[in-house]
Amino acid sequence: MSTEPVSVKSVSRTAFWRSQASPGVGQPVTPERKRGASRGAVGRYIVLIAFLLYCILPAAWIISAMTKDNGQIFTTFGLWFSYPFHLFENLSGLVTYQDGIFVRWFGNSLIYAGSISFGSTLICALGGYAFSKYDFPGKKFLFNFILGTIMVPSTALVLPLFLMLNKIGMVNTMWGVILPSLVNPFGLYLMKVFWDSSLPNELIEASRLEGANELQIFWRIGVPLMQTGLVTVALLAFVGAWNNFFLPLIVLSEEKLYPLTLGLNVWNSVTAGAGGKPIYNLIAMGSFVSVLPLLIAFVVLGKYWRGGLTAGATKG
Rounded to whole angstroms, the Cα distance separating 95 from 91 reads: 7
Of 90, 108, 134, the position where a domain reaches its end is 90
**10 in a structural domain:** no
- How confident is the prediction for the chain on average, in pLDDT? 85
Does residue 41 or residue 32 have the better pLDDT? Answer: 41
- Percentage of residues in the chain having pLDDT higher than 70: 84
Residues 146 and 174 in one domain: yes
- pTM, to two decimals: 0.81
312 has pLDDT over 80: no
**196 in a structural domain:** yes
**64 in a structural domain:** yes
Q: What is the pLDDT of residues 284-309, one digit of tens each?
A: 999 999 999 999 988 888 777 655 55
Give pLDDT, residue 34: 59
Residues 214 and 165 in one domain: yes
Rounded to whole angstroms, the Cα distance separating 223 from 227 reads: 7
Q: Name the percent of the chain in helix, strand, coil, to the closest 5.
A: 75, 0, 25
How many Å is the maximal CA-CA distance in the chain?
106
Mean per-residue pLDDT for 240-246? 95
185 has pLDDT over 90: yes
Residues 221 and 166 in one domain: yes
Whether 280 and 127 have beta carbons less than 8 Å apart is answered as no
Residues 115 and 69 in one domain: no
Residues 194 and 277 in one domain: yes
Rounded to whole angstroms, the Cα distance separating 284 from 173 reads: 28
Confidence of residue 126 (pLDDT cuts 50, 70, 90): very high
Residues 101 and 46 in one domain: no
**3 in a structural domain:** no
Give pLDDT, residue 4: 47
Helix (H, G, I), strand (E, B) or coil at 79: coil
**4 in a structural domain:** no
Whether 78 and 65 have beta carbons less than 8 Å apart is answered as yes
Confidence of residue 78 (pLDDT cuts 50, 70, 90): confident
Residues 78 and 200 in one domain: no
Of 90, 114, 142, the position where a domain reaches its end is 90
**What residues contact 270, with CB distance under 8 A and at least 6 apart?**
276, 277
Residues 164 and 54 in one domain: no
Residues 289 and 231 in one domain: yes
User: Looking at the 3D structure of the chain, how many domains does it have?
Assistant: 2
**280 in a structural domain:** yes
Residues 132 and 182 in one domain: yes
**What residues contact 250, with CB distance under 8 A and at least 6 apart?**
158, 161, 162
**304 in a structural domain:** yes
| Domain housing 80 | 29-90
Q: What angle do CA 112, 113, 118 make, to 5 degrees?
A: 105
Rounded to whole angstroms, the Cα distance separating 269 from 99 reads: 19
**What Cα–Cα distance (Å) separates residue 74 from each residue in 14, 68, 289?**
74, 10, 21
**12 in a structural domain:** no
Whether 84 and 69 have beta carbons less than 8 Å apart is answered as no
Q: What is the pLDDT of residues 24-34, one digit of tens each?
A: 444 555 556 55
